[in-house]
Structure 1
Amino acid sequence: MNINLILGEALLTIIAFSTLLIIIYKFAWKPFNETLEARQTKISNDWDAAENAKKVNQEAQAQIEEKLKLAHLEAEQITRQAHIDATHLHDSMLAETRQEQARMIHATEEDLKIQRQQFAVDMQESLVHMASAMAEKILQREIKPEDHQNMIKSFIQRMEELDEQI
């Protein structure tokens, strides 16, 4: 075999292979690498965006939790204040009721005292008239007005002494 032919075929194979490599590099390998680099850049950017979104989400979550804590504290304060206000209102109403009760008891006691005194006076007069009528019959004479007044005073004095003992 001829060396020149072998060298020519080898040279032609090298040129064809080199041409094929240049064409593949230019039309296939270069766009494939650009696509891979673009995809890597997009994935990297998406990863960074996801990390940033995660940080923003964590910050928002922390703010929400802080606001929730504040809302719970405020609700607790409102509840405590409402309880305090209700207690004050209860105490105030109770004090007013007791004052009204004391006033009514005092008024009732005064009214009873006046009625007792009036009853005692009426009873004394009645008893004095009955006693004087009986005494008049017994003595078969008429009692003088001075005697009548003395009997009334004496009876009133005895009734007051009994009333003081009660």
Structure 2
Amino acid sequence: MLVAASLLSANFGLAIWLAIAFVLLLLVLGKFAWGPITSALEERESTIEESMTRAERALAEAKQLQADNEAARREAEAQAQAILRDARDEADRQREAARTELRTELAAERDRATADIELQKDQALSELRSEVAALAVGAAEKILRQKIDATEQRGLVDQFIADLPTN
């Protein structure tokens, strides 16, 4: 039990040596360990801060790129809408121009057909008058063969033709 009592009893010499060893340990640690440990911690802290700053910058750049891309997409959509609107307007203009041209061509064709019909009508009436005049002269010649001379016959035929209706 003597050993147990010596462990529990206070020994001031041992306490002083322990205090000296502790102070020496603190001095050695302060000189060789605390400096490198604190500088490593400070370096690590600055590296983390730089990484966080770079991450924040990258996030801000990504947000800016996203905003730029969104603006470019909206602009492209607006341009596409404008192109479609212009194409529709151009198609409407071309359709209307084609309709106008077709109407003009149809009117010209109708006018040509009307003029052609009128010309053929005039030719037919002229031929009919000539035929009627020839028939009338032939009939009148048979009836009046010996009573009227050729000049008087021609005058009668001309008067007969003039008396015919024009249509």
TM-score range (shorter-chain normalised) is: 0.7 to 0.9
Counterpart pick for 2:22 among 17, 23, 40: 17
Q: Name the % identity.
A: 27
Q: What TM-score do the two structures reach when normalised by structure 1?
A: 0.77
Return the letter of the residue paired with 1:129. A
Task: Name the Cα RMSD after superposition.
Answer: 2.3
The aligned runs of 1:130-145 (5 Å cut-off) are 130-137=135-142, 139=143, 141=145, 144-145=153-154
Return the letter of the residue paired with 1:36. L
In the TM superposition, structure 1's runs of 4+ consecutive aligned residues that sit over 4 Å from their partners are none
Name 2:47's counterpart in structure 1: 42
> Are 1:150 and 2:159 an aligned pair?
yes
- Structure-2 separation of matches of 1:67 and 1:56: 16
- Structure-1 separation of matches of 2:36 and 2:136: 144
Counterpart pick for 1:30 among 35, 48, 69: 35
Return the letter of the residue paired with 1:112. I
SS of equivalent to 1:117: helix
- Structure-1 separation of matches of 2:161 and 2:12: 172
Q: What TM-score do the two structures reach when normalised by structure 2?
A: 0.77
Q: Give ranges in structure 1 of 5+ residues lacking alignment.
A: none
Return the letter of the residue paired with 1:141. R
SS of equivalent to 2:145: coil
Q: Give ranges in structure 2 of 5+ residues lacking alignment.
A: 1-5
Return the letter of the residue paired with 1:8. G
> Are 1:103 and 2:108 an aligned pair?
yes
Counterpart pick for 2:91 among 86, 100, 103: 86
Return the letter of the residue paired with 2:88. H
- Structure-1 separation of matches of 2:24 and 2:43: 27
- Structure-2 separation of matches of 1:25 and 1:134: 158
Structure 1 position 82, deviation (Å): 2.5
Structure 1 position 135, deviation (Å): 4.4
**Count of aligned positions:** 153
Structure 1 position 109, deviation (Å): 0.7
